[in-house]
Structure 1
């Protein structure tokens, strides 16, 4: 489908796409102009700090559908049930009882409305993606009357455009490279001392590690026995340090899994693979769990932890319907696996997605500790620099980046009251960023923004939990907070602040 790109935001079981996700070639003349929709979204963001589709009129919701791929995310419930499912979302069996009945009645309602303008429509043609776990359906909606009927139905918890995000007014500026891809290289020539320190048995530790006590913390913990899930753009098949050389030197006995939850773009296209075509997921994996080896590559924070890489998105902006589905399924996957305790996602979007929120609450209720990037932008945000979704959710730990002066956000990092932790990831004098694994080879690349801050923090949490696997999620967060520089208070923009993981490993 035709993506609606924004300049560099957030520097995310396989289900197949049943229908073509191509954007309609024509849009009804009664649909609102995208520029007007976008203006309304930015206005709400600046006024309230968030944008949910229940803030928009039925006409606006329908217009957003027609200006994207017409795919709607509809959360449902039995008519007598409470619409707020956050406490019970993980206990629902949508295949049985009242939930199955409600789903069938909802699809009947949609089918009835859509057939008014398309008598040849078949009921099975409505569904775009399959869903086995959450009480939600993803359907193609073309009629305004369908949106109106859904807004009024006691079966509906939410009804939202799945793939609409506000974009630049200049459509020519919407390019894939602006969504966090294509830059997994060193931003300047790297030098010993300035950019890294070589540690035994021959790896490069990033210049920012001492700001967080990481090297000292390695004397007590390495993340052994833990399994970190990174929800992102996948892994490069050409980076041996994330495959055959994942175990080398001081990194031993661990595993790599490469999974994909993002549906394919077209019903006739080849299956999606876990391969990273962007570079972002490879960089995040290197930051969090790169091996402590002998080949001179960048070392990850939790260098002895296992890795589960989930390719949930094509790039860091969650602006396609299939990316919303991919991210949602990734969190469900994490929730269903007892061997995964921590997830890291350096992805996001401007508008909220109730389907992703459902999935995050599903994983949260199953005990997962989730870290999300607070947001990174470059001129697109029209004066709004708030915490992006899903980092804005209370169920996740939101992370952003700061400069080495310790009191300023990085040049493009978002901040706000929803941030929980910060990571030093930019030198104020020359914009140097932390090192990580490139798409191939042992020469490090660099990566910045709230993305690297999030992967670093997830790595530190893995160190702490790996040291004492009997801790609860809440106890791990408490240790991280208590070892941060603003504790016992919270900074208005930076939360608990900068973690000293060496101190955290010594707290009782």
Structure 2
């Protein structure tokens, strides 16, 4: 299992005071963006995706109020004011606290906080501090133990996390991790079905090459999941901070992202772990603006309004999916409703790939039984004779004639022999 960021070694910590003094300068060669005309805060100015992907325009309609996003990750920090939108949580790993707010995991324990800040950070003030894509949405923090430190099996943690999220009001579930294998444990079938049947949008990261993921893995291979690939600042598929696969639905920024750590420290990071919550935030904007729409229609609006990528002629493309996500279009465009999830049916997949392989212990009749007339009785078979014993036919036509012929031949032979002997004796008698 891997969280879908490009590694803690690539995280560069940014100090707000240094940014202000340097005029929005950053560390280690990070390109200096031009501040947005509406942003005087240097942190907000670094969030290029707000303008480039239509988020700020979508805010003219909604900021995500009334929608709940569940973050299944390492836990969302409890101290920073940016996370004041967290309304509940739990720990399914056996390592964290009951409220899910104590960061857990073998590495990148701040990962869940970074993810949550991109989805729904409140900022530090009206126009200051990092702000999420859906800053008025509420968050659920579900901590899982990534790595070998957890006492609970990973597949069990994820299933438990999904059930808890659904039962506690999640409208959207974000999963910024991959298993690096296309298949998934059968226990996930029922858990993901439970989410889909309760009208929940499930968003998953596609994974990153820098983390060893060359193609998408579960949960990004599960039908019906909104899978997010990553692009750089120019909208080009990221080499290290994304991967590829036919299940990618849309793409979003995965490079030069910001995140708020559990202790409030601001960091820069890369990976589809960040692209996924950007899309989860957009899903929250759509659900807030269109509460009458079900999860299938929310997903359909996001993929149908994505910006096509130049040079890509066939969608979904294994690098970009349907294109680059557009928050404003997803919220405000006119999009026909659908009756099924455009990303596939998990129930149908289970029927074909799970149940078809299992034997049916009690097959059911599909037609009424047909009455058939009884067959006539079968003649009893004659007892099998010994082939070595003579039969009536062999006695009459073979044995008796052969015996008679043989006796006659013997008698003739004896007669001839006797006659010959008499002739010889006669020839030897003295003449008188």
The answer to whether the superposition gives a TM-score over 0.5 is yes
Pick from 325, 334, 343 the counterpart of residue 499 of structure 1: 325
Match of 1:363 in 2: 195
Whole-angstrom CA distance in 1 between matches of 2:187 and 2:7: 22
Q: How does 1:186-197 map to 2 (within 5 A)?
A: 186=14, 191=24, 194=33, 197=36
Counterpart for residue 125 of structure 1: none
Aligned partner of 2:352 in structure 1 is none
Task: Report the equivalent of 1:109.
Answer: none
Find 2:259's aligned residue among 432, 436, 450: 436
Provide the residue aligned with 2:224 in structure 1. 395
| Alignment correspondent of 1:484 | 306
Aligned to 1:300: 132
Q: Which of these residues, 248, 273, 278, is aligned with residue 451 of structure 1?
A: 273
Q: Separation in 1 of the partners of 2:170 and 2:98?
A: 26
| Matching residue of 1:218 | 59
CA shift digits 1:410-442 (9 cap, x unpaired): 42311111101110232xxxxxx122213333x
Structure 1 counterpart of 2:157? 326
Change (3 A) 1:356 1:201: farther
How many angstroms apart in 2 are the aligned matches of 1:223 and 1:291?
Answer: 11
Residue pairs, 1:119-130, within 5 angstroms: none
Q: Which moved more, 1:388-397 or 1:288-297?
A: 288-297
Cα shift at 1:182: 9.9
Contiguous gaps of at least 5 residues in structure 2: 26-31, 335-432
SS for the counterpart of 1:185 is: strand
**Structure with the higher fraction of residues in helix conformation:** 2
* 8 Å CA contact retained: 1:185, 1:438: no
Task: Work out the CA distance in 2 between the residues paired with 1:320 and 1:264.
Answer: 8
Report the CA distance between 1:470 and its aligned residue. 1.0
Q: CA deviation at 1:201?
A: 9.2
- Is residue 2:247 matched to residue 1:425? no
Distance 2:149 2:325 in 1: 28
Q: Are the counterparts in 1 of residues 15 and 266 from structure 2 also a CA contact under 8 Å?
A: no
Choose which of 82, 94, 105 in structure 2 pairs with 1:241.
Answer: 82
Query: Matched residues in 2 for 1:409 and 1:238: separation?
Result: 33
Q: 1:347 aligns with which of 154, 177, 190?
A: 177
Task: Tell me what 2:29 maps to.
Answer: none
Say if 2:136 is the partner of 1:310. no
Distance 1:504 1:264, change over 3 A: closer
**Corresponding residue number in structure 2 for 1:274:** 101
Does 1:465 find its partner at 2:295?
no
1:405-416 paired onto structure 2 within 5 Å? 405-416=234-245
Query: Where does the alignment leave 5 or more consecutive residues of structure 1 unmatched?
Result: 1-5, 12-177, 247-253, 427-432
TM-score normalised to structure 2 length: 0.64
Partners in 1 of 2:201 and 2:191 — Cα distance? Answer: 13
Q: Which has the higher contact order (CA 8 A, sep 6+)?
A: 1
Change (3 A) 1:9 1:437: closer
Q: Which of 198, 201, 204 is the equivalent residue of 2:44? A: 204
**CA displacement at 1:9 relative to structure 2:** 4.8
Q: Deviations over 1:365-408 (max 9, x none)?
A: 22211001111242645xxx110111111121111111123232
Tell me the secondary structure at the aligned position of residue 497 of structure 1: coil
CA contact (8 A) 2:307 2:325 kept: yes
* SS of equivalent residue, structure 1 residue 498: coil
* 1:246-261 matches, cutoff 5 A: 246=84, 255-261=86-92
Q: Identify the match of residue 374 of structure 1 among 189, 192, 206.
A: 206
Contact 2:91 2:99 in 1 (8 A): yes
Q: Give deviations 1:101-154, integer Å, cap 9, x for gaps.
A: xxxxxxxxxxxxxxxxxxxxxxxxxxxxxxxxxxxxxxxxxxxxxxxxxxxxxx
1:10 aligns with 2:4: yes
> Are residues 492 and 183 of structure 1, via their aligned partners in 2, closer, same or farther at CA, if it must alter by over 3 Å?
closer
- Deviation track 1:459-495 (CA, whole Å, cap 9, x = no partner) reads 0110111011111111111211121023994223321
SS in 1 for 2:272: helix
Q: 1:271 to 1:304 in 2, by over 3 A?
A: closer
Q: 1:392 to 1:187 in 2, by over 3 A?
A: farther
RMSD: 3.2
Aligned length in residues: 310
Change (3 A) 1:492 1:350: closer
The superposition leaves residues 18-40 of structure 1 with CA deviations (integer Å, 9 ceiling, x where unpaired) of xxxxxxxxxxxxxxxxxxxxxxx
Q: In 2 relative to 1, CA 296–198 (structure 1 residues): closer, same or farther, beyond 3 Å?
A: farther
